[in-house]
Amino acid sequence: MVSAIAILRMPGLFTAAMISGIYSLVAAVVFLVMDAVDVAFTEAAVGAGVATILMLATLAHTGVRRSQPVPFSWIGLLVVLVAGAALVFATFDMPAFGEPLAPIHMHVAPRYLLESMAEIGVPNAVTSVLASYRGYDTMGEVTVIFTAGVGVLALLGRGRRAPTEDVKDS
Amino acid sequence: MVEQIGVFNYWIVIALMMTGLYVVISCRNMVKKIIGLNLFQGSVFILYISMGKVEGGTAPILASDFTSYSNPLPHVLILTAIVVGVATTALGLALIVRIHDRYGTVEEDAIQNLDREV
Amino acid sequence: MGHHYVLRVVSALLIPVILLFALYVQFHGDFGPGGGFQAGVIFAAALVLNALVFGLENTKRVVSPSAVRIGAALGLLLYAGVGVATMLLGGDFLAYSVLAATAIGGQHLGILLVELGVGITVTSVMVSLFYNFAS
């Protein structure tokens, strides 16, 4: 939470990118505390590694060091307060944290946990769900990653014109 | 300790989410908007994972010593979402680099002014 | 490069260990945390570290940009190929049980190949992103 507010107030962009890396690391620790070991692994590697590197590379390309200070936005505050109030109102119907009888644990999850050893023989339930029970979704996800790679290739690949050429033309 | 948390953990997540949303709406600089979007994404991940935790359970790796596991389904969902999130962040940052090439700035209102002049 | 000595020596020692760890995570995804995505990102992180410490040109000589482009498509092709292979062998799309003599053996083989495909694509795309952003 502290890091989130720091990102908001910080005019230095380099610092903001670094703090977002810290935010990802703290989120990874939170995932670990909540028994999500695979997710913590991935979030630490991706958030604190790749995402931060890409942001720093963008800052190096565009050469901006500081952003303008954040103007106080009434519309922003209104949207945030209304949306936040609606969400808090919605949480009163949600099950308490960690409750074993919540609806999310009732339908498919026990079947996956119980049958995973018998049907697939893999101890890691997350891998068995990801690669076998929900393998089609994982294929779609790999396609999304591939498409993003192709998109960045198309945008930044070869034939980037020098900056300020276009601005002088118009 | 876990019994007294109740629904309080969701409120923390909502606070993080709203901070991210405010950064996206109010900041003029585009790189900061993308960082705000990352904030928002991270808070949504924490929301899902906290919904999947079972009190007294352990990580969903089946072993003979444990009987109670946390729900593996949110983990699968969020694993996918994290990698897709970094892919879209990369695409957004590439767009920012191109916009900077074209307009010479990444401040949103300066770009709108330049568009209006043309 | 005198004042970067410590960085170069430590990285030269660490990068092979990181690559080995990535391979371990890839193939032990069945028994512990890990699997394709984690392994792919760790592998890419090792290559990015190499590029940061030893220069982008050196890394491009080791893993050329065209190899990375081919790798991205190859991973996805492997994944879809396993699905088509299961269809050709008589089962549904991506039903791994028909791949080997026993159902559980088929599942193991299918998951191994599929995670390999995922790992290759994730590595290639992350390295390709870094190459595009860094030049």
Q: Say whether B107 and A87 touch across the interface (CB within 8 A).
A: no
| B55-59 average pLDDT score | 70
* pLDDT above 90 as % of chain C: 11
**In this structure, what DSSP letter does residue A12 have?**
B
| Nearest CA-CA distance, residue A89 and chain C, Å | 36
Locus of tokens 């999310």: A104
Enumerate the residues of chain B whose CB falls inside 8 A of the CB of residue C37: 79, 82-83
> Is the C-alpha dihedral spanning B63, B66, B67, B70 positive or negative?
negative
**Domain ranges, ordered by start, for chain A:** 1-65, 101-158
pTM for the whole thing? 0.83
Q: How many helices (H) and strands (E) does chain A have?
A: 9, 0
**Higher per-residue confidence, C19 vs B32:** C19
What is the amino acid identity at position B96? I
- Provide the mean pLDDT of chain B: 80
List residues of A whose CB lies inside 8 A of any C CB.
37-38, 41-42, 45-46, 49-50, 53-54, 57-58, 61, 119-124, 126-128, 130-132, 135-136, 138-139, 142-143, 145-146, 148-150, 152-153, 155-157
Q: In the structure, what pLDDT confidence band is assigned to residue C124 with cuts at 50, 70 and 90?
A: very high
Rounded Cα distance, A135 and A151, in Å: 24
- C79 lies in which domain range? 2-134
pLDDT for the residue A170: 42
Regions of chain A where pLDDT drops below 50: 162-170
The Cα of B53 is separated from the nearest Cα of chain A by a number of Å equal to 5
3-state secondary structure chain C: CHHHHHHHHHHHHHHHHHHHHHHHHHHCCCCCCCCHHHHHHHHHHHHHHHHHHHCHHHHHHHCCHHHHHHHHHHHHHHHHHHHHHHHHCCCCCCCHHHHCCCHHHHHHHHHHHHHHHHHHHHHHHHHHHHHHHHC
The C-alpha angle A65, B35, C65, rounded to 5 degrees, equals 80
pLDDT of residue A45: 85
Q: What is the CA radius of gyration of chain B?
A: 20
Q: Which two tokens stand for residue A146?
A: 């591939």
8 Å CB contact of C117 and A142: yes
Q: Which chains touch C (3 or more CB pairs under 8 A)?
A: A, B
Other Cβ atoms less than 10 A from the Cβ of C61: the count is: 9
pLDDT digits (tens, 9 = 90+) for A122-145: 788 888 888 888 888 888 888 999
What pLDDT score does A11 carry?
55
Taking phi first (over 0 means left), then psi (-120 to 50 degrees means alpha), and beta for anything else, what does residue A159 get?
A: left
- Amino acid C17: pLDDT: 93
Q: B79 in contact with C at a CB cutoff of 8 Å?
A: yes
Task: Supply the pLDDT for residue C20.
Answer: 92
- CA-to-CA dists, residue B68 to B4, B62, C115, angstroms: 20, 10, 27
A153 interaction partners in chain C (CB closer than 8 Å): 69, 128, 132
Question: C49-99, pLDDT tens digit by residue?
Answer: 888 888 888 888 888 888 888 988 898 898 888 888 888 887 777 777 777
Write the secondary structure of A79-130 as one string of H (helix), E (strand) and C (coil).
HHHHHHHHHHHHHCCCCCCCCCCCHHHCCCHHHHHHHHHHHCCCCEHHHHHH
Q: Tell how far CA B7 is from the center of its chain.
A: 20
- Which residues neighbour C79 within 8 Å (Cβ) at sequence distance 6 or greater? A138, A139, A142, C114, C117, C118, C121
Give B6's pLDDT tier (boundaries 50, 70, 90): low
Closest Cα in chain A to C43: A45
In a domain, B38, yes or no: yes
What is the H or E stretch that residue B56 is in? Answer: none
| Residue B61 is assigned to a structural domain of this protein | no
In a domain, B60, yes or no: no
The Cα–Cα gap between B63 and B67 comes to 8
Tell me which chain A residues have a C-beta less than 8 angstroms from the C-beta of B51: 94, 102, 104
Question: How many structural domains is chain C composed of?
Answer: 1
Q: What is the CATH number of the domain that holds B101?
A: 1.10.287.3510
pLDDT above 60: residue B1:
no
In whole angstroms, how large is the CA radius of gyration of chain C? 18
Task: Give per-residue pLDDT as tens, B81-116.
Answer: 898 888 889 899 888 888 888 877 777 777 777 777
